[in-house]
């Protein structure tokens, strides 16, 4: 097959004609995108545009109705779970609330991937846990339970856990959700530092404009299940598409009232 990606060439992630339905609603309608190695891509869009769904399909949590998702050149929609798991060890994901395991301390959370996937002795794992927590600015918080942390700290801990296995790709699902502007900016700075230091491939799903302008090298904007725009920040700013302009100017679209629709709602 032409364009078979190997470790050194070809895009790291490729999404081809992804179609996702939930019930009778089509959430993603033939979405295509590529993510190159070392790039920071921001997947942008309003609420309900399908960006979190897209992320879930890229990491293999859900299977699509049609289309392919290629990671490192392999189509994970056609692979059994065990083989997808092999690829997952090279990825790290920060979920919206951090998704820390509440019955374990922060240190145990970060140590979990290391304990499960490596045969390293406990002392080594402890050192690595301390390193990762130091990296995200949570040094010394190993013994804390997630419930004792603030929202921002929980996300940092989740990030430390995502970084535990030194992944090649990092995914962020709405990293600024629920954070005040200062904490959100701190998280963005952390992302930039990670990129500079480790040259990671980073994919961020967000709808926050400040984060977008700070960290994006490439932008993919989704609107109602379709890719509205895929390009650089300059492409985004220069776009004449009114959906893009509405999004950037924080202007909601003019509601076109359908008389029949209103009648139906009033008489239901």
Partner 1 sequence: MKALLGAIGRRALAAREEVAEAARLVNETAALLRRAPFTAKGFRRPSTVFQMVKVGVESIPIAVLIAFCVGMILALQAATQLRRFGATLYTADLVGITLTRELGPLMTAIIIAGRSGSAMAAEIGTMRVSEELDALKVMALNPVDFLVLPRLVALAVMLPCLTILADVVGILGGLAIGNLALDITVANYLAQTIRAISLKDIFSGLVKSVAFGVIVGMVGCFMGFRAEGGAEGVGRRTTASVVVGIFLLIIADLFFTALFYLAE
Distance (Å, whole) CA 183 – CA 190: 11
Q: Which of 66, 43, 38 is nearest to 54 (CA)?
A: 43
Distance (Å, whole) CA 171 – CA 110: 16
Nearer to partner 1, 174 or 219 (CB): 174
The dihedrals phi and psi of 53, each to the nearest 5 degrees, come to -60, -40
The dihedrals phi and psi of 25, each to the nearest 5 degrees, come to -100, 135
Task: State the nearest-atom distance from the C-beta of 14 to partner 1, in Å.
Answer: 19
**Which positions from 95 through 124 interact with partner 1, judged by CB under 8 A?**
95-97, 99-103, 112-113, 116-117, 119
Contact mark string toward partner 1, 61..80, x via CB under 8 A: x-------------------
Identify the DSSP state of 255. Answer: P
Determine, following the binding rule CB under 8 A, whether residue 149 of this chain makes contact with partner 1: no
Specify the 3-state DSSP secondary structure of 244. helix
Determine, following the binding rule CB under 8 A, whether residue 132 of this chain makes contact with partner 1: no
Nearer to partner 1, 62 or 143 (CB): 62
Task: State the nearest-atom distance from the C-beta of 16 to partner 1, in Å.
Answer: 21
Nearer to partner 1, 101 or 181 (CB): 101
Nearer to partner 1, 88 or 195 (CB): 88
Query: Quick one: which of 12, 71, 91, 149 contacts partner 1 (CB under 8 A)?
Result: 91
Tokens 């004449």 belong to 240
Stated as kind and residue range, the H or E segment containing 53 is: helix 51-58
Residue 20 contacts residue 66 (beta carbons within 8 Å): no
Task: State the nearest-atom distance from the C-beta of 214 to partner 1, in Å.
Answer: 25
Determine, following the binding rule CB under 8 A, whether residue 126 of this chain makes contact with partner 1: no
CA-to-CA separations, 168 to 117, 134, 153, in angstroms, rounded: 16, 20, 23
Task: State the nearest-atom distance from the C-beta of 228 to partner 1, in Å.
Answer: 27
Determine, following the binding rule CB under 8 A, whether residue 93 of this chain makes contact with partner 1: yes
Identify the DSSP state of 252. Answer: P
CA-to-CA separations, 248 to 54, 176, 193, 206, 222, in angstroms, rounded: 21, 17, 26, 13, 13
Nearer to partner 1, 89 or 246 (CB): 89
Which residues would be at the binding site for partner 1 (CB under 8 A)? 56, 59-61, 81, 85-86, 88-89, 91, 93, 95-97, 99-103, 112-113, 116-117, 119
């Amino acid at each position: 097959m032409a364009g078979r990606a190997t470790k050194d060439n070809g895009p790291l992630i490729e999404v081809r004609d992804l179609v996702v339905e939930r019930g009778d609603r089509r959430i993603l309608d033939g979405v295509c995108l590529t993510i190159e190695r070392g790039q920071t891509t921001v997947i942008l869009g309003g609420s309900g545009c399908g960006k979190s769904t897209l992320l879930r399909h890229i990491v293999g949590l859900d299977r699509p109705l049609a289309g392919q998702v290629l990671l490192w050149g392999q189509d994970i929609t056609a692979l059994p779970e065990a083989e997808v798991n092999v690829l997952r060890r090279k990825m790290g994901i920060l979920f919206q609330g951090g998704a820390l395991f509440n019955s374990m301390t922060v240190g145990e959370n970060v140590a979990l991937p290391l304990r499960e996937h490596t045969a390293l002795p406990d002392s080594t794992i402890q050192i690595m846990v301390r390193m990762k927590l130091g990296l995200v600015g949570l040094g010394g918080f190993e013994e804390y339970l997630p419930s004792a942390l603030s929202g921002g700290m929980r996300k940092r801990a989740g990030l430390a856990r995502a970084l535990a296995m030194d992944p090649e790709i990092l995914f962020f699902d709405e990293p600024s959700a629920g954070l005040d502007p200062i904490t959100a900016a701190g998280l963005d700075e952390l992302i930039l530092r990670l990129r500079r230091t480790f040259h990671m491939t980073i994919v961020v799903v967000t709808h926050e404009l400040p984060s977008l302008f700070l960290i994006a090298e490439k932008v993919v904007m989704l609107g109602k299940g379709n890719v509205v725009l895929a390009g650089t920040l300059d492409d985004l700013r220069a776009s004449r598409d009114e959906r893009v302009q509405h999004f950037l100017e924080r202007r909601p679209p003019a509601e076109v009232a359908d008389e029949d629709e209103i009648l139906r709602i009033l008489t239901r």
